Structure 1
Amino acid sequence: MSIGAKWTLFTEFLQIFFLFHTIFGVETKIPMTLLKEPKHSFLLILTLLFSFWTIEAQVKTVEFTGKVVDTSTGQGVAYATVMVANNNTKKAIVGTTTLEDGSFMLKTDATDYYIEISFIGFEKKIIQKPNSDDLKIDLGVIQIAEDTQKLEEVVVQGEVSKTVFKLDKRVFNVGKDLSSAGASALEVLNNVPSVNVNIEGQISLRGSQGVQVLINGKPSIITSDESNALGTITADMIDRVEVITNPSAKYDAEGTSGIINIVIKKEERRGLNGSVSVNTGAPDSHSVGVSLNKRTEKFNLFTQLGAGYRELPNDSESRNTDLTTNTTILSIGEEFRNEAYYNFVLGTDYYFNPTSVLTLSGNFALEIEDQPSTTNFSSLSGTDIVTSEWERTEITEATNPKFQYELQYKKDFKGNEDHTLLFSALGNFFGKDQSSEFTDTTISGTNNDNSQLTRTDFKEAVFTFKLDYTKPFTEELTWETGAQYVLNDVSNDYEVQNLINGAFQVDPGLTNIFEYDQKVLGLYTTGAYEGKKWGVKGGLRLEQTNLNTFLTNTGEDNSQDYGNLFPSLHTSYKFSEKISLQAGYSKRIYRPRMWDLNPFFNIRNNFSIRQGNPELMPEFTDSYEVTSIFFIGKTALNLGVYHRYTTDVIERISMFENNVNTTRPENIGTNKTTGIEFNTKYSPVKWLTFNADLNYNQFSREGIFEAIVFDFNAERWSSKLMTKVKFPADIDLEATGNYRSSYQTVQGEVNDYAFMDLGLRKKLMKGKAILNLSVRDIFASRISESQIAQADFEVYSRRQRGRFVAFGFSYGFGKGEAMQYSGGRRR
């Protein structure tokens, strides 16, 4: 073989070698002249030898093993981070997390590195490169100690939690002052301006409850009324909290108190969070609950089990006076709603990759009700002389099954985490199988003996399908579009039987099956420009509503088919780091609920009856709002001015006949409301915090009903002051005072009331366990009173629930925070 042929063969071998060389990941640039000219063979051989040496060094992989333990307890630390970092750049090369027992294993082929062990709430541990040529190195037991530095010492500029204004929302960025403290999501929310969380975990926005809480922009069973599993999310997992008080066209046009969106960090997916709670109280209220949240690289599994029993007594009084006949019916009673309940939540998030996640979850709950009540009636003449007395007793039993599911898929497009696609399908089911027995027994005077039986078979299904797409074109310009379809199907089978001649007979005038079917299709689009100081966002939402109600027995039906446009416009301007201004407009709708439309009623008190109106129309509101935020030191002051104009206002109107007061919703004219809202959080010293909310408004009513003019001007206001005191030994005291003023209605007046709640909390085991004592309405002063004064009749009503005392113990394990389980919302 000639030298040229041999050289050709050799160069082909080199080319194959360099191909494998590239696969190994080492890039070596070889001038092509070296492969063409034999005279350069010496340089080529040197290059080849260097390449072999590089590969040999690269493929020398070292495997490290060890176990991370807590210095104080000697127990393994699960999910601690073990990282190999470059000595020069300090950047991570490779990393892993410890297992449940604190053990770990990782490999590296780096040559200039150090090993770092870290975990939230613990001091970092640095291990220099071991002086060993072994390919398997056991680092043994590595002890890490809790970080005992004071919180203020680890807070640096740019890492303190703060609020900034964005076009249609306020964004609270979570800094190290909270994330390093190991706080729960509820504690983070309590630091957000305008948001309050009381010691029982109830969330309110600007002093109003009924807030919709989202996780990463979507509903979650974790935040549902049937679960309070927010305690399983810790502050170090939260990137930011978004507060929306005047939603844009992207959101339902149906009115709410506001939206709170908790955005979770993408990298915080691993960990075990859990909590166990036991609670008791008076009147009887007992529960036990277990919450678990397990995060791995691919899965996030969450579950909750709960069971309990509670009583809700209610004292009532009413006085119906017929000014024409000068007679009065007085009723004084005590009602109970006793309930055993069971709750089960199970769900999972599956991450196909870092940009795609699928969520599937379900919630099943069962309530078993017992509602005994006794009401004493008196019939009075004009001189308040008792002409007859009788007692009405009720025995009611009901079984209420509930089921909720959610299926959601979210896709984040590569290159921009704000470029997203979200699809969700939600289903809610509720049923009620109820039977009641009413017995009237005459005590004196006129014979009022009577017996009645009622039966209710109620079924409701709600399906919600959503599709949302967000596309940022630049850092300043963003476009959003999407659709939503909501189906609500209800059937209420109600029957009344009267005892006649010793046998129960169906009352055809009070018995019927009410069918309710509503479909709402929504389409929206928004466009936004957001610069460093100024931004604007406009949107338009189209909603088509189709509503049908049908009374099966009588054949009466009512159909409504209407489409509406809901525009929105928001803007914000940042004057400085301490002063920002935000303004917004949106059009809202309130659609009558099933109970607003159902013409049949409950006969618990057959002299005070609530009835629905199948011909009721929706009310529409134009909402304008200007809000400012001022930072004075560490205190944030929020001041807002708003105006709302509502048409076809729904009011409950009283109709009076034979001392029977029947209230029925009607569309009564318009309402103009102009108000001011103020809230702030102020801590004069570290151990004392004040949280104040004030809402004052004036309103003007105009309307006519059955030739009667309802025109008047009035005002109302409400306030709340929450005081938190931190005592030594990890004891917290919380006192909340509430006041609601009296206000005028179209036919009368609702009285004012004031009440106070008290809470005491003691942390144990470094915050992992909590003892909790709460007293609601400590002075039993929360009394609801109203009067209706008309030319021919007067009605007075009074209701009071009284004082509630609760005591609980909860324990959090893993990365979970201790939390309380209360059983969710009743229906």
Structure 2
Amino acid sequence: MKIFIKTKLYVLFLLVTSGNVCAQEKDIEVFGNLVEEQTSQPVPYATIVLKDNTNNKIITGTTTDDNGKFRITSSKTDFYIEISFMGYRTKTITEFSVSNAMVNLGTINLVPDNQALDEAVITGEVSKTVFKLDKRVFNVGKDISSTGASALEVLNNVPSVNVNIEGEVSLRGKSGVQILINGKPSVLADQSSNALGTITADMIESIEVITNPSAKYEASGTAGILNIILKKEENKGWNGSISANTGTPDNHSLGISLNRRTEDFNLFAQLGAGYRSLPQDNKAFNRNLTNKEVVFSEGTAYRNEGFFNLTLGTDYHIDELNVLTLSGNLAYEIEDQPSETNFRFFNSENELVTSWLRDETTEATNPKWQYELNYKKQFKNKEDHTLQLSALGTFFGKEQSSQFKNTTISGTDTTTDQQTDTNFQQADYTFKVDYTNPLSDVYTVETGVQYVMNDVGNDYEVRDLTQGEYIVNEALTNNFEYDQKVLGIYATGAYEKEKWGIKAGLRLENTQLNTLLTNTEEFNDQNFTDFFPTLHTSYKIDDYFSLQAGYSKRIFRPRLWDLNPFFNIRNNFNVRKGNPDLQPEYTDSYELTSIYKIGKASLSSSLYHSHTTDVVERVSTFEDNVTFTTPENIGTNASFGFETNGKYSPNKWLTLTGDFNLNYFDRKGSFLEQTFDFSGNRWSSKLGSKIGFPADIDLELTGNYQSGYKTVQGKLTGFAFLDIGVRKKIFKGKAIVNLGVRDLFESQISERFVSEPTFETYDFGRRGRFITFGISYGFGKGEAMTYSGGRRR
């Protein structure tokens, strides 16, 4: 810090005195190149000062350019040279030679000042969580930002957040989390593309965890919001990183990230390509309790994907107060989905009647694109006084064809071959205006409007092999059109002082939803308007203990696949389909959270309660030994929960993290004259450790457990799994080698039981063990990164 103040005084003095320095005919020119000793990387913007040998006063000075070079002229000859930069030891040069009125200092090495560096980064060394009025802010410290991890891995370090092997993000065990970048939707935040994996840990300033969102955010989704705040990068010039990954099952990718900063522009590009395979083992049985017949199925399905992903964008700083951002993402995927399922049918005497193999060959191409246009104006009176306009557009298409071939192994031939074709197109558009005005140091108002349009078409055709010819099955064929428009308007007001604050808001949303089955002319039109109030408060008792409380009303709108009544026929005995008459569910959410420190440990605990009406549940019915699973609105759910998480770093080489969530629920409801009143609980825990070894080697162990719990018709079983990661830095941190093992013991499974008076069903699924190996290298001023293939549809 002393070096930093000293440097500022030098620069100020130079600005005052430089006008009095006059060039002479015998001026001496001093020049050289400044680099960091350990990495040989240029040191830009360091201060170069010439001082008088007699009185140590400054004669003149300058700073290094983007490449660490400098050139300075002096009319005096009796001087010495002093070089300084925050975080490095000040270097004094007293011996040099003058030749032809020039002093060539060549390459000069700056040595890091460990004490100064400790002072500079001590507050950010370990990642920690702090409170704001309506959010928890996870500040990314050097314990994570220096690891070269991707944004997905950083999210997995945030308390309450979990990222599974496919890159799906959940909050408090619930999926459907909305991810924002700097407070707005972004092409980089799309979980269905590869873009999120290209954000590296060193780019992230903090992550805001919003489990009870204020009225500023759209009311849909009950899981919450994760807002990734990127650093205001100050490194000018080129930054870049390239990575290569391989693994088993097939998980191969190449990725490159480029960034070029100038005074007015920030240009960025990310390019990735790869291939991966996602096998899944499946088992199921349908038991007819009326006639004692049973159908067993067992097999393995693959999802092989080749993908290409390109992101381009620029930030244009019109001036100090206005920034325009334009970015786009283009992706193309080629899918191959082979599967083989073995079916066996037993009669009431438990005798095998028939068995057969059902082979699927599916091919698909998926074009995708996104664009983002954002304008942000900052007003002169206050930094937080802003106006932001944004537009986001996305498109996803799928051209898919499938061939299902049945081969009888024993018994009678009771099945037929089938073909399907799917033409799917989805376009989404979001337009948003946000205005924030801090009226004073304690009062802030926000207001804004958002308009979202979703337009989807799904043309689906099934053909059955009949007497050697494929004939269209009219009962299973149709074109489903889905059109939804949501207009939202909000206003909030906040009062916040150092220790206490309160924030209240109200959001109004109008929803227009239209669905149409074109072949049968079945339609469902909905138009409704809702008010969503929010209230948040926080109180800081001292530096070691704070409290936060909040209330919000939320909505879950049925998604496309919840409404589409047509289904995949991979397994004709276990059919899932949508319900076009499904209604939205509403949730009132209450939360009380505390954050506190005990020695070297930081802990956060929450008590929460939610009450949901018209709960959307997947309900199974049974007909002719076939299970049909459909989402339905069933009653209410009152949920009470406790969550605690923490981090403990007893020393520099060991960090321990933990997360525990216990949820009790009470269900009330009925469906098809059957009462679904019951209560139960579910809990989850996550324990992690990061161990630092010599030679820049880090070992990470993360254990997860998800308990089983009751459902409206049966139960889901629990499971535990362990992930391991080893990271080694080489070439003084410019390159990183990673080895990861996900689900070491292949214990991450999905088991669902349904038990009804007339039938029983069982479903089992398992992804298996994933092993990945990657290497990445940072060039220019970039740092090594990890490129992730991300989760695709």
Task: Pick one of 144, 154, 160 that aligns with 2:119.
Answer: 154
The alpha-carbon distance between structure 1 residues 177 and 371, as it changes in their structure 2 partners (threshold 3 A), is: closer
1:411 alignment counterpart: 377
Q: CA deviation at 1:219?
A: 3.5
Q: How does 1:491-570 map to 2 (within 5 A)?
A: 491-570=457-536
Structure 1, gaps ≥5 residues long: 1-53
1:169 alignment counterpart: 135
User: Is 1:447 aligned to residue 410 of structure 2?
Assistant: no
User: Is 1:57 aligned to residue 33 of structure 2?
Assistant: no
CA distance in 1, matches of 2:74, 2:500: 48
2:609 alignment counterpart: 643
Q: How does 1:377-388 map to 2 (within 5 A)?
A: 377-388=343-354
Quick check: 239-248 or 761-770, which moved more? Answer: 239-248
2:304 alignment counterpart: 338
1:437 is paired with a residue of what secondary structure? strand
CA distance in 2, matches of 1:199, 1:340: 18
Contact 1:477/1:528 (8 A) holds in 2:
yes
Q: How does 1:137-536 map to 2 (within 5 A)?
A: 140-147=105-112, 149=114, 153-154=118-119, 163-172=129-138, 211-225=177-191, 226-227=193-194, 235=202, 241-255=207-221, 257-264=223-230, 266=232, 268=234, 270-536=236-502
Task: Pick one of 42, 47, 65 that aligns with 1:98.
Answer: 65
Q: CA deviation at 1:265?
A: 5.5
Q: How does 1:89-128 map to 2 (within 5 A)?
A: 98-100=65-67, 102-104=68-70, 116-118=83-85, 122-125=88-91
User: Is 1:801 aligned to residue 767 of structure 2?
Assistant: yes
CA distance in 1, matches of 2:486, 2:378: 28
The alpha-carbon distance between structure 1 residues 493 and 95, as it changes in their structure 2 partners (threshold 3 A), is: farther
Q: CA deviation at 1:270?
A: 2.4
The alpha-carbon distance between structure 1 residues 260 and 654, as it changes in their structure 2 partners (threshold 3 A), is: closer
Quick check: 412-421 or 138-147, which moved more? Answer: 138-147
Letter of the 1:330 partner, please give it. F
2:732 is paired with a residue of what secondary structure? helix
CA distance in 1, matches of 2:442, 2:354: 76
Contact 2:34/2:110 (8 A) holds in 1:
no
CA distance in 1, matches of 2:95, 2:383: 36
Q: CA deviation at 1:347?
A: 0.9
User: Is 1:659 aligned to residue 622 of structure 2?
Assistant: no
1:812 alignment counterpart: 778
Q: CA deviation at 1:449?
A: 4.4
CA distance in 1, matches of 2:749, 2:213: 33
Q: CA deviation at 1:642?
A: 0.3
2:790 alignment counterpart: 824
2:417 is paired with a residue of what secondary structure? strand
The alpha-carbon distance between structure 1 residues 739 and 449, as it changes in their structure 2 partners (threshold 3 A), is: same
Contact 1:124/1:144 (8 A) holds in 2:
no
Contact 1:349/1:359 (8 A) holds in 2:
yes
Contact 1:232/1:816 (8 A) holds in 2:
no
Letter of the 2:109 partner, please give it. I
Structure 2, gaps ≥5 residues long: 1-16
Q: CA deviation at 1:455?
A: 0.2
CA distance in 2, matches of 1:498, 1:244: 49
Deviations 1:626-653 (A, max 9, x none): 0000111231110100001000000111
Letter of the 1:412 partner, please give it. Q
1:789 alignment counterpart: 755
The alpha-carbon distance between structure 1 residues 317 and 72, as it changes in their structure 2 partners (threshold 3 A), is: closer
2:555 alignment counterpart: 589
CA distance in 2, matches of 1:787, 1:672: 23
Contact 1:630/1:636 (8 A) holds in 2:
yes
Q: CA deviation at 1:371?
A: 0.7
What is the TM-score normalised by the length of structure 1?
0.85
The alpha-carbon distance between structure 1 residues 618 and 644, as it changes in their structure 2 partners (threshold 3 A), is: same
Quick check: 158-167 or 404-413, which moved more? Answer: 158-167
Q: CA deviation at 1:782?
A: 1.5
Q: CA deviation at 1:71?
A: 3.6
2:426 is paired with a residue of what secondary structure? strand
Contact 1:626/1:641 (8 A) holds in 2:
yes
CA distance in 1, matches of 2:648, 2:583: 44
The alpha-carbon distance between structure 1 residues 389 and 721, as it changes in their structure 2 partners (threshold 3 A), is: same
What is the TM-score normalised by the length of structure 2?
0.89
Contact 2:721/2:744 (8 A) holds in 1:
yes
The alpha-carbon distance between structure 1 residues 383 and 78, as it changes in their structure 2 partners (threshold 3 A), is: farther
CA distance in 2, matches of 1:273, 1:530: 39
Contact 1:589/1:620 (8 A) holds in 2:
yes
2:302 is paired with a residue of what secondary structure? strand
1:21 alignment counterpart: none
2:653 alignment counterpart: 687
The alpha-carbon distance between structure 1 residues 294 and 234, as it changes in their structure 2 partners (threshold 3 A), is: farther
Contact 1:232/1:817 (8 A) holds in 2:
no
2:13 alignment counterpart: none
Contact 2:406/2:417 (8 A) holds in 1:
yes
Deviations 1:531-557 (A, max 9, x none): 111100000001100000011111111
Letter of the 1:297 partner, please give it. E
Contact 2:200/2:786 (8 A) holds in 1:
no
Quick check: 807-816 or 424-433, which moved more? Answer: 807-816
Q: How does 1:719-730 map to 2 (within 5 A)?
A: 719-730=685-696
Quick check: 413-422 or 147-156, which moved more? Answer: 147-156
Letter of the 1:789 partner, please give it. S
Contact 1:641/1:677 (8 A) holds in 2:
yes
Contact 1:154/1:177 (8 A) holds in 2:
no
Deviations 1:647-680 (A, max 9, x none): 0000111110000000111100000000000101
User: Is 1:604 aligned to residue 567 of structure 2?
Assistant: no
CA distance in 1, matches of 2:345, 2:661: 42
2:9 alignment counterpart: none
1:621 alignment counterpart: 587
1:596 is paired with a residue of what secondary structure? helix
1:77 alignment counterpart: 42
2:566 is paired with a residue of what secondary structure? coil
User: Is 1:701 aligned to residue 662 of structure 2?
Assistant: no
Larger Rg computed on CA atoms: 1
Letter of the 1:654 partner, please give it. S
Contact 1:418/1:471 (8 A) holds in 2:
yes
CA distance in 1, matches of 2:605, 2:270: 39
CA distance in 2, matches of 1:56, 1:798: 79
1:617 is paired with a residue of what secondary structure? coil
2:474 is paired with a residue of what secondary structure? coil
Q: CA deviation at 1:741?
A: 0.9
Q: CA deviation at 1:255?
A: 1.8
Q: CA deviation at 1:604?
A: 0.6
The alpha-carbon distance between structure 1 residues 78 and 201, as it changes in their structure 2 partners (threshold 3 A), is: farther
Deviations 1:727-753 (A, max 9, x none): 111111111111111111111111111
CA distance in 1, matches of 2:728, 2:168: 19
CA distance in 1, matches of 2:205, 2:569: 52
Contact 2:36/2:43 (8 A) holds in 1:
no
2:256 is paired with a residue of what secondary structure? strand
The alpha-carbon distance between structure 1 residues 138 and 646, as it changes in their structure 2 partners (threshold 3 A), is: farther
Contact 2:329/2:371 (8 A) holds in 1:
yes
Q: CA deviation at 1:298?
A: 1.2
